[in-house]
Amino acid sequence: MPASRLWGLMAEYDNPGDLLAAARSAHSAGYRRMDAYSPMPIHGLAQAIGFRKNALPLLVLLGGLFGCFLAFSMLWYVETHVYPINVGGRPHNSWPSFIPITFEVTILFAAVTAVLGMLALNGLPTPYHPVFNSKRFALASRSRFFLCIEVRDSKFDLQTTREFLAGTHCREVEEVAL
């Protein structure tokens, strides 16, 4: 396969322990552009492949603060300028009455930001990914565990990476086409 049509090398493992050990070895060896695929969550796998924190918590906070500001501002403006009603002799800008709606809009904006931010940061929806070209990748949702090192990795060399993956007690190493 020409190098320009290669996405990476994928190794197949029988159990989660072998995948975890291989991911740790690959990260220790200097590989950074890799991903692991498993039919179940594996504790420590994200750290083993070098997954770093993302911006989602900050996005959710900013979305919530924006919703809070928007709701409070809207309520204040409506109560003081557009439709001022004297209820029980209270001033028109009585902020305690704004709390329930402000809280609900804050939660709404934070939740919507969380969903949209998660989809955007994960690159979803992804109807096609090169690993789907692997003949055995369908087993990743049933019983097999895979580690894919991408060509984009600065340390990637086809022969060296193939030998490295073969030395991690895998079943098979396969080239993944674009």
Cα distances from 142 to residues 14, 17, 130, 137, in angstroms, run 11, 16, 19, 10
Q: Is 40 helix (H, G, I), strand (E, B) or coil?
A: coil
Whether the pLDDT of residue 3 is over 70: the answer is no
Whether the pLDDT of residue 53 is over 90: the answer is no
Q: Could you tell me what percent of the chain has a pLDDT over 70?
A: 98
Encode pLDDT of 144-165 as tens digits.
999 999 999 999 999 999 999 9
Whether the pLDDT of residue 52 is over 90: the answer is no
| Burial class, 102, CB count within 10 angstroms (exposed 0-12 / middle 13-18 / buried 19+) | buried
| Burial class, 56, CB count within 10 angstroms (exposed 0-12 / middle 13-18 / buried 19+) | middle
Encode pLDDT of 88-147 as tens digits.
888 888 889 899 999 999 999 999 999 999 999 988 998 899 999 998 999 998 999 999
Rounded CA separation 153/7 (Å): 10
